[in-house]
Structure 1
Amino acid sequence: MAKISRKSFSILTVSILVLIIFLRLIHLQLWSGENYRLVSQNNFLREVFIPSPRGEIRDRLGRKIAFSKPVINLYLRTDTNENLEDIKTTLHNVLNINQKKLDEIKPGDFPYVSKRILIKKYLNLNQIYKIENELKRFQSLELVVDYLRIYPYGEVGAHKIGYLTTNDKRDLIYGSFLSTRTGVAGLEKKFNDQLQGKLGTRYLLVDSSGREVKKIESDFKQISVKTKKGEPLDLTIDIELEKLIFDSFGDLNGAAMVHDINTGEVLAMVSKPSFDPNIFSQPISNKDWNKLIENKSKPLLDRVFLVSSPPGSIIKIVTAIAALEENVIDKDTELYCPGHIVIGGRKFRDWLPGGHGTINVKQALIVSSDVFFYQVGLKLGVKKFAKWLGRFEFGELNDLPFFQNPGTIPDEEFIKKSLNGKWYPGDMANVAIGQGYLTINVVQASIMTSIIASNGKIPKFSIVKSGKKPVQNKLEISESNLQLIQEGLLGVINDEKGTGFFARDDGKLAGKTGTAQVISKDTRKYGHGRYRNHGWFTAYYPYENPQIVISIFAEHGSSGGAAGGPIIKKIVQYYKKNYIKKES
């Protein structure tokens, strides 16, 4: 009996399944058959691409540094059987598109799988209205809402933010959409995966007149792809501060950096000359590209990281610290500066004819005596000097996500490889004051000054907001030696003999100026045109409770004090106005 029941149950189950299939076939034949017959005979499936906006890049206060603006573009699909000449004539008559440009369209040579060609971009409402009726006549014409990358601050901070280029892989499949362009430099490249949106698709059933057959669209939803907006990128940068710095350079070229001593957050990072990244938001012409790369001022060169120059007298900070820590001198050591010194039969001059007389290390920093530090450097020696340069992280790369030139320090490896192991007293005298075989960039100058201002803490830089507290290593320097150097740097700006008087403001700024020779003083070309000295100025504020470090490199700025001082003064005034709470 039980066997009969199981057999009956199996027969019943199979019968029900057959009945369900039979009823579904009847439904398809009688009710949906007509729809699918129409689909196959009079209609076709149109794939519609839906571009997505790239994520915004915002500064520390939420101001937009880069965003995507919706635009409407007209495309031509060449995978239909419509008469191309009729379409060209219509485009010429309706939108007044140049006939010569239309004649250049040769679908057979078009490489994209999608066979989609951009015909006209950024249509206004009037143009959209005019072309709308033609969309029903020609299935080959397609209006697409695309997204154009906008950089509202233009040249300001462009090297850091980066720019876009064509995305060969996506364009091959989808056609050349603006929103599929990919980051090729700067933060746009480093965080491209985060910023890049996801292109969506949906499928519409349209009839021979181009009208959508909405009643059965739902049957194709399962093969559609949803768009995904790119994620935003929030920076530590203050873009208005960067704009102030960029404008303050005036006709000078160079680089600048401002960072928070306590957090390592970069508040400003500026390179000048610069370029407008907006020209890369769409295919750039050969003319514009050649204009950029042939420009003698090299606007594409990021002078913050890639230009490494002799530091001039700002390196006297390290020379002084090294000599004090190695017990070569102490706070009371006095040396005579008559205006020059003879080393190896060659006269090494001070910047001040007649010299500074008998001075100690603190006074030597304030007046930036060359002769004093020539003598200290010779006493110190290159091995100890190079050791301390390394401890201040010169010659090394940092954690910021940009290509970098680490510069040169005269360590044992460099001397052996580049100088055949030969090192002379004159070489040592030069590097002790920041000339000769020693080059650094603006970021490295900021690290040095930050270490002094923070009593030895090595900054851990960040440019993207993370909310994480940085872990800072510490360089062991005696408290008394740090205080001595700090007092000297305060005097550089505020003492009557100080070389940094151009930055003088409220008596709370400390720093060091530097002038790097491009060519020997003994040559006729010295001080003229591209042979003018480079200027350096690195500082921290305020002296009693340091909050920020500022470093300026002025290319051919003649002197650090004159070129960098006024810029630093403006930065401090901006910082006080916008960051320091006013006393009630």
Structure 2
Amino acid sequence: MRNKTPTEVTEIHTRLSRRALLLGGTMLAFMTGLGFRMRHLQLDQADQYRLLAEENRINIRLIPPARGEIFDRNGIVLARNEPSYRVTLVPEDAGNVDAVIDKLATLVELDPNELDRAVTEMRRSPPFLPVTIADRVSWDELSRVAVNTPALPGITPEVGLSRYYPLRGDLAHVLGYVGPVSDYDLSKIDDPDQLLRIPRFQIGKVGLEGRMEDDLRGVAGTKRVEVNAVGRIMRELDRREGEQGDDIQLTIDQQLQSYAQARLGDESAAAVVMDCETGDLLAVASAPTFDPNLFVEGISVADYGDLTNNDHRPLAAKSVQGTYPPGSTFKMITALAALEAGVVGYDDTVYCPGHMEISNRRFHCWKRGGHGQMNLVQALRESCDVYFYDLALQVGIDKMSTIAAQFGIGEKFDLPLSGVARGLNPSRDWKSSVRGEDWVVGDTANASIGQGFVLASPLQLAVMTARLATGKAVPPRLVKSINGVDQPLPEPPRLDISPTHLAEVQRGMYAVSNHRRGTAYSKRIIEDQYRMAGKTGTSQVRNITAAERARGVTRNEDLPWNRRDHGLFVNYAPFENPKIAVAVVVEHGSGSKAATPIGRDITLQALYGGTPPLSAYPTKDRNRIEKQQEELEKLVPGREITRRNRA
């Protein structure tokens, strides 16, 4: 290999120097750029990256707010929040989870179902998250756990808030109940509040709790906690408490409500009491009822089965959800329609032989032998069906439907309750559009006595009665105030009904209860200052064949319970100065005789503001009423037994 010439060595050295300079310059430029970048990140953007670091280290957690409470019109608590004691376990702190649970079981009675749920939750949750092992434990049990926590690693006794309904079933159908948020609940909400994702957070499911959930829920608070790299809480930095939900005061009178519930007893029935002037609902009772506290933490399969398998349907809010043929309680509407149309005068009579032939079909009166000559007041007083068949054929269904609408039949009232029914106020157009059939004259005859297609809820019947009493379009109202602010109470407009026509119908209703031949005379109120006007009603739930009529109609008492007639009674009192309207429906109650005494007794309780004196009742009933009062007074919470004039 030959030696490099001096010229070649010089060229090689020159090239190497040039490359070294280029490489060095590149490295210098890179280092300079890196330095500027580091300066930019550490100085110019220091605040931004410090914030990001803080966000990785600090979490914001929601604090559930206290739910708003619910009160009656007199300030009695109907739904409140109670301390709820529970025991939680952090699996990673417990070590041997099974051993810790075994020790805990010696101090607290553990529900097997709750324990299975907790074990399932532990398997799918990070080991540092607490899991509830025992819920709604007693204070004594919680104290035992607290004393023994050194021997129970991972176990923590905690105090939270849970909903409680002190009157249990008395307002179950009005208040509804709360329960843990389910996936189904979340699916119904477009943009769910993050509160709803907190484990075991409770929301309103049905009734007022469900319909006014947004008002009652409140606004969540927040707390800042420091966490480590795996998300475990290290310490709490600060917190901001949330806002409690709105307190709601209802128009309900708790003692009247409890009395109505007790008076309905074991019947499958409903009763509504309404203030004639304001529309305030003083009682909205459905029987049988249920304990809403069972649903708060999740009802057992056995308890739920008992409720759903009961043929009296305790879960149904019959007072607002149930719709029934109103029977003869609808006859005031037929009478007013005829009077307003000018087809009948006050003294015009119709002869009742016990039936009427209409389109080759015999329409019967409830009184087989007939009532003879009847005018309007007499026909209402004795509930003559033939009289109202005759009026209806003259006036027609469309006029009847128009009048019925003024009195609330077929109207879905805007109340914060679940499943408020619209009922059915039929007309020619309705039958044509819904059923695709023409209206026939027999439909009109049936509607005239509250049968056929006509359907109304007890709430609607109470509204109808209040409007008959006052001549005003009184709307029902359930919420009196929110957070102490009274809700608007507008003056109801007068109905487009002649006052003289209305007065004649009112005379007929008064005769029902106060004339010896009235259908409610035996269940009248004796006290002159509290005399009531009313109307009895019976609605059939089965067809009576011609063959059965020929051999004699089977008595209701001899039929299976679910084939017996419904019993209805509506009334208002006092007659001279109406204060309250009452509607009672007893399902399969064998006719109006089941509903009328209930309506009378509830009316007296409302008028006297408690147990009425025996002097308000017919003499022959007083011994029985006294015993009944003593039994019912035991069932009404907070009721002081009074012994007014027992003579």
TM-score range, shorter chain: 0.7 to 0.9
**Alignment partner of 1:90 out of 69, 78, 103:** 103
User: How far did 1:443 drift?
Assistant: 1.6
* 1:569 paired residue among 568, 584, 600: 600
- SS of 1:184's equivalent in the other structure is strand
Q: Which moved more, 1:267-276 or 1:74-83?
A: 74-83
1:166 maps to what in 2? 180
Report the Cα offset of residue 357 of structure 1.
Answer: 1.0
Question: Residues 484 and 296 from structure 1, CA distance in 2 versus in 1: closer, same or farther, beyond 3 angstroms?
Answer: same
CA distances 1:175-198 after superposition (whole Å, capped 9, x unpaired):
33xxx3110111111222332255
User: Which one of the candidate residues 545, 548, 562 is aligned to 2:580?
Assistant: 548
Identity of aligned residues (%): 32
- Residues 433-456 of structure 1 show CA distances to partners (whole Å, capped at 9, x for unaligned) of 1111111111211222112110x2
Say if 1:194 and 1:231, in contact at 8 Å, map to a contact too: yes
Corresponding residue SS for 1:183 = strand
Residue 76 in 1 paired to residue 89 in 2? yes
Aligned counterpart, 2:130: 116
- Cα deviation code 1:383-405 (max 9, x no counterpart): 22222222323212112223222
**Letter of the structure 2 residue corresponding to residue 490 of structure 1:** Y
Residues 395-446 of structure 1, C-alpha deviations (whole Å, 9 max, x = no match): 1211222322212222123220344332222221111111111111112112
Name the counterpart of 2:564.
Answer: 532
Q: Could you say if the C-alpha distance between residues 335 and 129 of structure 1 is closer, same or farther in structure 2, counting changes exceeding 3 Å?
A: closer
- Say which SS state the counterpart of residue 335 (structure 2) adopts: helix
CA–CA separation in structure 1 for the residues paired with 2:460 and 2:335: 17
Find the residue that maps to 1:536 and give its secondary structure.
strand
Q: Is the aligned partner of 1:63 residue 2:87?
A: no
Q: Who is 1:474 aligned against?
A: 494
Q: CA deviation at 1:307?
A: 1.4
Residue 159 of structure 1, CA deviation: 1.1
Q: Which moved more, 1:274-283 or 1:162-171?
A: 162-171
Q: Secondary structure at the match of 1:351?
A: coil
The answer to whether the Cα contact below 8 Å between 2:72 and 2:250 also exists between their aligned partners in 1 is yes
Return the match for 2:207 from 186, 191, 206. Answer: 186
1:457 pairs with 2:489: no
8 Å CA contact 1:340–1:347 kept in 2: the answer is yes
Moved over 6 A (4+): 44-50, 98-101, 169-172, 203-206, 579-582
Q: Secondary structure at the match of 2:480?
A: coil
Task: Determine helix, strand or coil for the equivalent of 2:318.
Answer: coil
- Within a 5 Å distance, the mapping from 1:13-162 to structure 2 comes to 53-78=66-91, 80=93, 82-95=95-108, 97=110, 105-106=119-120, 108-110=122-124, 115-136=129-150, 140-162=154-176
Alpha-carbon distance in 1 for matches of 2:574, 2:325: 27
Q: Structure 2: how far apart are the matches of 1:113 and 1:256?
A: 53
2-structure distance, mates of 1:171, 1:119: 22
Which digits, 9 at most, give the CA deviation of each residue in 1:521-565, with x for residues without a partner? Answer: 3357772121111111111110111111101111111222x1122
1:324-403 correspondence to structure 2 within 5 Å: 324-402=339-417, 403=419
Secondary structure at the aligned position of 2:133 is classed as: strand
State how far apart, in whole Å, the 1-side matches of 2:111 and 2:399 are: 71
- 1:175 equivalenced with 2:191 (yes/no): no
Deviation at 1:316, TM superposition (A): 0.5
Match of 1:306 in 2: 321
What is the identity, as a one-letter code, of the residue corresponding to 2:257?
E
Inter-CA distance 130–443: structure 2 relative to 1 (3 Å threshold): closer
Amino acid at match of 1:152: P
2:42 is aligned to: none
What letter corresponds to residue 509 of structure 1 in structure 2? M
| Alpha-carbon distance between aligned partners in 2 of 1:113 and 1:167, rounded to the nearest angstrom | 23
SS of residue in 2 equivalent to 1:427: helix
- Partner Cα separation in structure 2 for residue 382 and residue 472 of structure 1: 27
Give me the TM-score of the superposition, normalised by structure 1: 0.82
Q: Which residue of 1 aligns with 2:260?
A: 245
Name which of structure 1's ranges 367-376 and 124-133 shifts more when overlaid on structure 2: 124-133
Q: Which runs of 5+ in 1 are unaligned?
A: 1-43, 207-211
SS in 1 for 2:319: coil
Structure 2: unaligned runs, 5 residues or longer = 1-56, 187-193, 228-232, 614-647
1:422-501 alignment runs, 5 A limit: 422-454=438-470, 456-466=471-481, 467=486, 468-501=488-521
Post-superposition CA distance 1:325-371 (Å, at most 9, x none):
00010112111111111112222111112111111111111111001
1:153 is displaced (CA, Å) by 1.5
Going from structure 1 to structure 2, the CA distance change for 1:392 and 1:171 (only over 3 Å counts) comes to closer
**What secondary structure, in the 3-state scheme, does the structure 1 residue paired with 2:517 have?**
coil
Distance in 1, matches of 2:171 and 2:111, equals 37
SS of 1:482's partner is helix
* Kept after mapping to 2: 8 A contact 1:154/1:277: yes
Whether the 8 Å CA contact 2:423–2:457 is kept in 1: the answer is yes
Aligned equivalent of 2:32: none
Q: Within the alignment, does 1:268 sit opposite 2:279 as a pair?
A: no
Q: Describe the shift of the 1:270–1:90 C-alpha distance in structure 2 as closer, same or farther (beyond 3 A).
A: same
Q: Secondary structure of the residue that 1:405 maps to in structure 2?
A: coil
Instruction: Name the CA distance, whole Å, in 1 between partners of 2:152 and 2:319.
Output: 53
- The answer (yes or no) to whether the contact 1:391–1:475 under 8 Å persists in 2 is yes
> Is the Cα contact below 8 Å between 2:85 and 2:139 reproduced in 1?
no
Asked if 1 retains the 8 angstrom alpha-carbon contact of 2:355 and 2:363, the reply is yes
Q: CA deviation at 1:293?
A: 2.5
Q: Quick check: which has more Rg, 1 or 2?
A: 2
Partner of 1:513: 536
Mean Cα deviation higher: 249-258 or 189-198: 189-198
Mapped to 2, the partners of 1:360 and 1:287 lie a distance apart of: 57
SS at match of 2:302: helix
Query: What SS does structure 1 have at the residue aligned with 2:584?
Result: strand
Cα distance change on mapping 1:113 and 1:541 into 2, 3 Å: farther
Q: What SS is found at the alignment partner of 1:474?
A: coil
Q: How does 1:223-238 map to 2 (within 5 A)?
A: 224-238=239-253
CA distance in 2, matches of 1:100, 1:320: 61
Aligned partner letter, 2:292: P
**What is the one-letter code of the residue matched to 1:175?**
P
Asked if structure 2 preserves the Cα contact closer than 8 Å seen for 1:112 and 1:172, the reply is no
